[in-house]
Structure 1
């Protein structure tokens, strides 16, 4: 396992930055170890919902976890608003960094992650292969 740290800047799209870092480094399998920082916009899809909810304001990233593959990331995040209310769900595009985001990523050189259609769920799910 190899680790790397990313620091995102104001205005960066969290999900797009993670996907870009994965591709730019030529990785085959990776996951998020830790993510903290702040957002001005969080777009989270709650369990069982088709559309993402959009939260705006001063938001703190409390947790960020997920896997990264060539076909895209699968990320879950919890954020709190200025009153301490916590929201969590599946990260979609459009989560915009407010001041900073500090992310620690681990790559797994002996594995390759892909996302392939799973007939049982109807979704593109993680497939793990040895390299």
Structure 2
């Protein structure tokens, strides 16, 4: 595994930055190892929902996990607001960094991740393939 730290600046769209970043990498598979920071807007698709819900305010990133592939990312996030209440869900486009987002990403050169529509779920689901030795 190759480990890469990233720091996102205020106003960055967390999901879009991660999609663009993995598309530029030689490796075809990655995962989020660690993430902390803050957000001003979190666009979350909550469990069972079809549309994103916007959560606004001074938000702390408590956890971010997911898989990264050049043709898509699948990210789940847990955040808390000023009361300390925690909410989480599927991270959607439009989720903006407030002060910073400090990420540690694992790149997996021995694997290839891609996404393909799964008719049973209706979503582009993860496809996993071993990479030939280089």
Shorter-normalised TM-score: what interval? over 0.9
Looking at structure 2, the residues matched to 123 and 53 of structure 1 have their Cα atoms a distance apart, in angstroms, of 19
Structure 2 residue runs of 5 or longer lacking an equivalent are none
Q: TM-score, normalised by structure 2?
A: 0.95
- What is the alpha-carbon root mean square deviation over aligned residues? 0.8
Secondary structure of the equivalent of 2:127? strand
How many residue pairs get aligned? The number is: 131
Q: Deviations over 1:10-36 (max 9, x none)?
A: 000000111111112232000001111
Q: Hey, what does 1:123 align to over in structure 2?
A: 123
Looking at structure 2, the residues matched to 27 and 72 of structure 1 have their Cα atoms a distance apart, in angstroms, of 14
Tell me, yes or no, if structure 1 residue 65 matches structure 2 residue 65: yes
Tell me, yes or no, if structure 1 residue 95 matches structure 2 residue 105: no
Secondary structure of the equivalent of 1:73? strand
Q: TM-score, normalised by structure 1?
A: 0.97
CA drift of 1:9 comes to: 0.3
State how 1:1-131 maps to structure 2 within 5 Å: 1-131=1-131
**2:44–2:53 Cα contact (<8 Å) kept:** yes
Secondary structure of the equivalent of 2:90? strand
Task: Write out the 4+ residue segments of structure 1 that deviate beyond 2 Å after TM superposition.
Answer: none
Structure 1 residue runs of 5 or longer lacking an equivalent are none
Secondary structure of the equivalent of 2:99? strand
The worse-fitting range, judged by mean Cα deviation, of 95-104 and 25-34 is 25-34
